[in-house]
Chains A and B, each alone.
Chain A
Amino acid sequence: MKWDIDDVQKWPWHKHPPGLVNPDTGNSVQFNTGSWRSRRPALDLDKCSQCLVCYIYCPETSIQVQDRKVTGIDYDHCKGCGICAEECPRQAIALEDEAVQAG
């Protein structure tokens, strides 16, 4: 990280770059879009054919892949949009209610 923004919430107005440009990269990992989720995609690897369609479609890069194989879902960043479940040709992803999940 080349930009020190630890105390950014205390910055005075004149300290921010013009137009709130963010001159730093790779920091969206710090933004837990998972907190937006009301429905949770549940992956059933028994049904999965490893076509990787879900990986391509996921807008939050939340489909975890290792050695070209889907291994799970990153729930810190999955916002529960359901695109993966919609696109999966094998119905290997089902959306479950977060409230039910939480019990």
Chain B
Amino acid sequence: MSKTMAIVGTDAIAEAMRQIDPEVVAAYPITPQTAIVEKFSEYVADGLVNTQMVKVESEHSAMSACVGAAAAGGRVMTATSSQGLALMWEILYVASGLRLPIVLVNVNRTLSAPINIHCDHSDSMGARDASWIQIYSENAQEAYHNVLQAVRIAEHPEVRLPVMVNLDGFIISHAVDRIDILDDAPVREFIGEYSPAYPLLDVANPVSVGMFDGLYGYFFEAKRAQEASMEKAMYVIQQVGEEFGQRFGRPYGLWEEYGLEDARACVVALNSACGTIRTVIEAMRQEGKKIGLLKLRVFRPWPGQELVRVLQHFPVVAVFDRALAFKGGHGGPLYTEVAASLYEAEKRPLLANYVYGLGGRDLSVSMVRQALEEIWQAAEAGRVASRVNYLGLRE
């Protein structure tokens, strides 16, 4: 049912794209994403896919070409990172506003300046309000699975929103890992045929797309509808994740739990840091320090109510952020979201925020250990010593 390969993360994504065989891929190279599109363009050249590969002069054009191709009715994909995502910004909103189910793989890299090519989540976090579904992946295996599921989620008739699958730059994208690549046939059966709602190329049923709204004014209504589809996406993501599990033996939900049943403190984090955090938690649990990990997979839609139901039972919740929101010392974007949702909880846990890994700064086991010891002490003392903390910063 699958073959095991030792490949880098970007190759795993290219494999997913080969299996999806999208009608159009439009992309521009940017480190660390480049290897994905490089590999995929080999597949195009070798005739392994039927994809029309559009080579453009910038990411702004890449996303614009994706919008055009998706409006035409094609299954469309692209990949980018960092400045590339930033340059797509304007068109990200066009893609979601026109309800085009484009799948974008974002290899997380920080935003300049100072110029830096390494991992943090400032790129995708900046795009969090663009009405794109955002899915995060701890490792290349998950990223591969998430890309396959993203197609189904985006194209679901009740969703019809673009999906961004995130994985950590270099740490995951450029590390060789053991990956199980599923067989083509069952993957293609899972993904299925795409039937676009109003394809421009359906010449028997002509439509207008992207019309000016300024005089009659239905913009507000369109945005409200987008919000409702984001809400629906919460359920569709879970359905698709369950079906993926039934077919391929590994189900996916909104998040993954480790040790939450008996934990007195819970860590919430995204992407590859979860591996390091889990390792430290494992060691601490053997010493009787019962900490748990909630590895968040879905950041948009934001599973606020669902998270509150789980998080409100912990005396302490610590959120790890690989980005800043620059609110002036009030913590990172993930922390802000968790804190806002917990306002509605019957019992509000104590909260702490750990900002780490900006610009690719390593997150070592000892750093996580230091943070988790503090969290454990907070659980014991019933008091958080410091709300916003910077892990691995030279102080």
The reply to whether chain A is a binding partner of chain B is yes
CB of B327 closer than 8 Å to a CB of A: no
In contact, A21 and B216 (Cβ under 8 angstroms): no
| Binary interface encoding of chain A residues 7-50 relative to chain B, with 1 for a CB under 8 A from any of its CBs, else 0 | 01101111011111111110000000000000000000000000
Chain A, residue nearest B197 (CB): A18
Instruction: Please give, as numbers and ranges, the residues of chain A lying within 8 Å of B221 by CB-CB distance.
Output: 11-13, 16
- Chain B 179-210 residues near chain A, CB threshold 8 A: 197-198, 205-210
Instruction: Please give, as numbers and ranges, the residues of chain B lying within 8 Å of A24 by CB-CB distance.
Output: 207
Chain A, residue nearest B97 (CB): A19
Instruction: Please give, as numbers and ranges, the residues of chain B lying within 8 Å of A19 by CB-CB distance.
Output: 97-100, 160, 209-210, 222
CB of B228 closer than 8 Å to a CB of A: yes
Known contacts: A9-B216, A13-B225. The answer to whether A21 contacts B209 by CB under 8 A is yes
Chain B, residue nearest A12 (CB): B221
CB of B115 closer than 8 Å to a CB of A: no
Instruction: Please give, as numbers and ranges, the residues of chain B lying within 8 Å of A11 by CB-CB distance.
Output: 218, 221
Chain B, residue nearest A23 (CB): B207
Interface size of B by CB at 8 A reads: 24
CB of B1 closer than 8 Å to a CB of A: no
In contact, B99 and A18 (Cβ under 8 angstroms): yes
Output the least CB separation between B44 and chain A (Å).
29
Output the least CB separation between A99 and chain B (Å).
22
In contact, B216 and A14 (Cβ under 8 angstroms): no
Residue of A8, A9, A21 near B197 (CB, 8 A) is A21
- Chain B 68-103 residues near chain A, CB threshold 8 A: 97-100
Instruction: Please give, as numbers and ranges, the residues of chain B lying within 8 Å of A16 by CB-CB distance.
Output: 218, 221-222, 225
In contact, B207 and A14 (Cβ under 8 angstroms): no
In contact, A14 and B208 (Cβ under 8 angstroms): no
Chain A, residue nearest B206 (CB): A25
- A8-B215 Cα distance, complex, nearest whole Å: 13
Instruction: Please give, as numbers and ranges, the residues of chain A lying within 8 Å of B224 by CB-CB distance.
Output: 13
- A65-B206 Cα distance, complex, nearest whole Å: 26
Chain B, residue nearest A27 (CB): B208
In contact, B98 and A22 (Cβ under 8 angstroms): no
Residues of B participating in the A interface, judged by any CB pair closer than 8 Å: 97-100, 160, 197-198, 205-211, 213, 216, 218, 220-222, 224-225, 228-229
| Pairs across A and B, CB under 8 Å, 29 listed | A9-B216, A12-B221, A13-B221, A13-B222, A13-B225, A13-B228, A14-B228, A16-B218, A16-B221, A16-B225, A17-B198, A18-B198, A18-B229, A19-B97, A19-B98, A19-B99, A19-B100, A19-B160, A20-B213, A20-B218, A21-B98, A21-B99, A21-B197, A21-B207, A22-B207, A22-B208, A22-B211, A23-B205, A25-B207
